[in-house]
Chains A and B, each alone.
Chain A
């Protein structure tokens, strides 16, 4: 496997075999995370910058742990304590971080495509940790890993993504990742939360969860952002929960071994009921755990990555 890319900006840019490779590496890093000493010296001396222009606790922490378990030095920059609030342009931020000698920048930004802009202006590897409604590739990779762990495959599974697809980078990355790996994807949401021409991404769209839930192997529930209500995208949280919330009643119509996923943080009682969030088929915490391993794998391929093939038994 040759991984030549400088950055990981989106699932869109990944070949199938690259996805496969990262998932396989994830397995090795899961093993590292299970050890007594959860740390390997792989990226010793490398500097990883967590640049979070949009607040996030779980993704930032997950990346920080991943980098630290690989022995990299980690610096956190968030919007609050950066000069970005003083009006420094993103281009100057890139130049500054470059000058400081960072090897990788993990970046979250509220604006779609900001990571592309940033990557063009910096020598370091850029990992997209979520840019606007564009992509969140490591989330999709950890979701693939979690699904594969449970079913042993992705190909041929039917995954239902339920919720606000329009504003969701998680949905976009997962649609790309799941369809690339051969899963069937159906989006379930009110039409106001389904972006135009999304069918061209190779998915089906339906508005009625009750009618289709029995066909899903995986129900992927998206977080509903409460402020969307004021944008006339749905009349009320109550009505949304009634139509699309995943509760025990609705779950009775689903397959017995259906897997329930959510990128977190969950709104209990809105898109998913408290009872459902806590049943064993809901693998929300396993997603979090797998996230560290997958992010270690991503850092590894970008910063330590195997490039030149060596004769296997000719170890130096």
Chain B
């Protein structure tokens, strides 16, 4: 394999406390040296002047829809979208059809990802069989097959006893259980955040309490069982208050947030646009402000897209019938660069941390850093190029984004996975 020399980029690697202009030499798929003014005969040179060079970004919450809904996304198309969004690793949720609750599905996902040969795919397996919330999956076998974590995402384990046992059992493996916190009795038949907008729109609301009741329960169970719980797509002020308190008490709690919950409020629903319909729902301004504070205070560990592709006919319907979900692989980084770093909520290295080493630790992988000797997963982007989001140009198979037409900063120039160039000069490398 060819040698690669990434020259003169601003290298930001929070795992190694790096933020300076450096050159990186990649050989045989590994990072060999990081230093100033490197030279190497025969190496392909990447001019990274004025660009940001980071460990390959990680999106630990993606729906790839394969197996089952290949019309919405496939493992391959999802990997392409991830690459164009700057992600070298993604974790895919188990709510496929069939559900990823057995090693055959996990292995199939890993096999297909290998065939696609684009980015690293970490299957997250179900906590309970069929996401039914009743019987635990065979965690040991699933981990053997490559499962990185467990979740019933899309649903939430409603039975507290089942959740307690799942947490206890997971201690054998020291994996994260990812909690999609939602008390379904409180959220049932709801479509948007319960508040002023649900009231004037006449839509049944999903109260913040639906999430908070579940978060409170899982914090209590994490304490009872002394296990790791990761809360995904946290959306309310109350959730963050409890998570912060739990962290301060030393519980093994982590959490993530999505870009849409950080940049949109439920006011966006005034025209019943189903592209804004998502679960958990877009919340109010107080919640968004609390999420911003949670980011800057470090209560929120990671940022995830919750990339949820849906076919046009599942969104272009009456609001009540429309599917929940927003695609985000190709908009997450520009949104965060523009709206979070650009607005001064996070500094760039803090953002990179939440997209690299933080999710890597939650997933128990040795990714998300530029340590010498590690596989060379590198994302190179610039924060200055303005781009108008055009969903028709997405490599995802779906188009359900509320950000179409937004003008954002940030373009992926290069993406390197295991030393291989996946994106070059802003384009997916054709390796046919």
Name A's B-contacting residues (CB within 8 A).
12, 89-91, 109, 111-114, 116-117, 131-135, 169, 172, 195-198, 200-201
Contacts and interface: CB of A to CB of B under 8 A. Distances in A.
Interface string B309-342: 0000100111111000000000000000000000
A90 B203 CA distance: 18
Given A133-B203, A135-B202, 16 more contacts: A12-B200, A89-B316, A90-B318, A109-B318, A112-B201, A112-B203, A112-B319, A113-B203, A114-B320, A116-B271, A117-B272, A132-B202, A134-B203, A195-B199, A196-B194, A201-B200
A196 B195 contact: yes
A312 to B, nearest CB: 38
Interface string B189-213: 0000011101111111101000000
Contacts of A201: 199-200
Interface string B268-312: 000110000000000000000000000000000000000000000
9 contacts: A89-B313, A89-B317, A90-B317, A109-B318, A117-B317, A131-B202, A132-B202, A134-B202, A169-B202
Contact of B316 (A91, A114, A131): A91
Given A12-B200, A196-B194, A200-B196, A114 B318 contact: yes
A202 to B, nearest CB: 11
Interface of B: 194-196, 198-205, 207, 271-272, 313, 316-321
B195 A117 contact: no
Nearest to B205: A196
B316 A112 contact: no
A172 B202 contact: yes
B203 A132 contact: yes
A80 B367 CA distance: 58
B205 A134 contact: no
A112 B319 CA distance: 7
Given A91-B317, A132-B320, A113 B272 contact: yes
Contacts of A197: 195-196, 199
Given A90-B317, A91-B317, A117-B272, A112 B202 contact: yes
B318 A117 contact: yes
Contacts of A169: 202
Given A131-B202, A172-B200, A172-B202, A111 B195 contact: no
Contacts of B198: 195-196
Given A117-B272, A196-B194, A112 B320 contact: yes
Nearest to A113: B272
A197 B208 CA distance: 14
Contacts of A134: 201-203
B313 A113 contact: no
A91 B201 CA distance: 21
Nearest to A165: B199
A116 B316 CA distance: 12
A117 to B, nearest CB: 6
A135 B195 CA distance: 17
Contacts of A111: 318-321
A116 B203 contact: no
B199 A113 contact: no
B277 to A, nearest CB: 11
Contacts of B321: 111
Residue from A91, A116, A117, A201 whose CB has the most chain B CB atoms within 10 Å: A117
B410 to A, nearest CB: 32
Given A111-B318, A169-B202, A116 B196 contact: no
Nearest to B313: A89
Contacts of B313: 89
Q: When A and B form their complex, which 5 residue pairs have the shortest distance between CB atoms, in order from nearest?
A: A134-B202, A113-B272, A133-B202, A112-B202, A111-B320
Contacts of B196: 196-197, 200
Nearest to A194: B199
Nearest to A171: B202
A197 B284 CA distance: 12
